[in-house]
Amino acid sequence: MSGDIGLWAVPLAMVGGAIRVSTPFLFVSLGEVITERSGRINLGLEGTLVFGAMAGYALAYMTGSPWIGVLAAAGAGAAFGLLHGLLCSLPRVNDIAIGIALMLLGTGLAFFFGKAFIQPVAPDLPAINLGWWSDLPQVQAALRVNVLFIIGGLLAVALAWMLKRTRIGLTLRVVGDSSDAARALGIRPARVRILATGFGGALAGMGGAYLSLFYPGSWNEGISSGQGLIAVALVIFARWSPVNCFFAALLFGAAGALGPALQSVGVTSGYYLFYAAPFVLTLVVLIASSSKSGALTGAPRELSITK
């Protein structure tokens, strides 16, 4: 089948793969941008992503509606985010340690409650066929875009506007840069951070629902492959900008699609090495974007990684 489009087979497969693979990165990174803009880092998003995937798949199977599954995943993610926020608001509590603990808790609970849903088949999320103009199945498959990807792109623009142009965005930025300044303005930093972390968790849960309800479209214990942790690094690479997160997610998605793209054109030896491309890219971009003067440019000053 790849002979129909010749040398375009790999780039086309990577474009389609970038769109499919980038969506969980996009939702998790957007959620983490809001969390970190409030001055808190949440390393538990891997657990939130996995639990959201399980919860979304389970509710979609039981109700027959994938959108109810998405809402359930968002609710589960928000619960984990709020728990993280509440625990981190206690005195002498480290947000990084709490995040790691909740990552382990989320994955453990997902594996425990998800065993009953490995075999059942839940309905998939709908997709829009933007390749309708072509007769080639490769083009149609590459341009089959899930609705959540479009929602994520619009959400990135909306969040960027919110951070720059609204009172909520100003409050987040003030809390993220200086707790003392926020208190002087009558803002309660702990409350803002709890709500921001809950919102970030909800988006991470939606990213998990995408995994189980569209791509790959099933629930299993290895569904995430560290995407939640990579997304945290993606936020640093994107310099805490929602719009930059969109493009960075596409870049990481293309890296994740490299292995399947090579396999689709008949590369049968060594293509498994390319499945590590997102992890290698994570190291490369962090090293390349790091320097003594500009490593944390744009970082909220209340983040624990800046102190």
pLDDT digits (tens, 9 = 90+) for 55-78: 999 999 999 999 999 999 999 999
Query: Can you tell me the mean pLDDT for 147-174?
Result: 96
pLDDT band at 292; cut points 50, 70, 90: low
Q: Measured between alpha carbons, how far is 163 from 37 in angstroms, rounded to an integer?
A: 9
Residue 12 burial (CB count, 10 A): 21
CB of 233 closer than 8 Å to CB of 240: no
Residue 159, domain member (yes or no) = yes
Q: What is the dihedral of CA 67, 69, 74, 77, to 10 degrees?
A: -170
Q: Is the pLDDT of residue 7 over 70?
A: no
Residue 150, domain member (yes or no) = yes
Q: Which residues pair with 127 in a beta bridge?
A: 146
Residue 87, domain member (yes or no) = yes
Residue 1, domain member (yes or no) = no
For residue range 81-129, list pLDDT tens digits in order. 999 999 999 998 999 999 999 999 999 999 999 999 999 999 999 999 8
Domain count, the chain: 1
Host domain of residue 246: 6-288
For residue range 30-64, list pLDDT tens digits in order. 999 999 999 999 999 999 999 999 999 999 999 99
Question: In this structure, what token pair is assigned to residue 239?
Answer: 């310099």
Q: Is 129 helix (H, G, I), strand (E, B) or coil?
A: strand
Which H/E stretch holds residue 223? none
Tell me, what's the pLDDT at 240? 93
Q: Is the pLDDT of residue 132 over 90?
A: no
CATH code, domain with 118: 1.10.3470
For residue range 187-223, list pLDDT tens digits in order. 999 999 999 999 999 999 999 999 999 988 999 988 9
Q: Is 214 helix (H, G, I), strand (E, B) or coil?
A: coil
For residue range 254-289, list pLDDT tens digits in order. 888 877 777 666 666 666 677 788 888 888 877 766
Residue 76, domain member (yes or no) = yes
Residue 121, domain member (yes or no) = yes
Residue 302, domain member (yes or no) = no
Cβ-in-10-Å burial (0-12, 13-18, 19+) of 275 comes to middle
Residue 94, domain member (yes or no) = yes
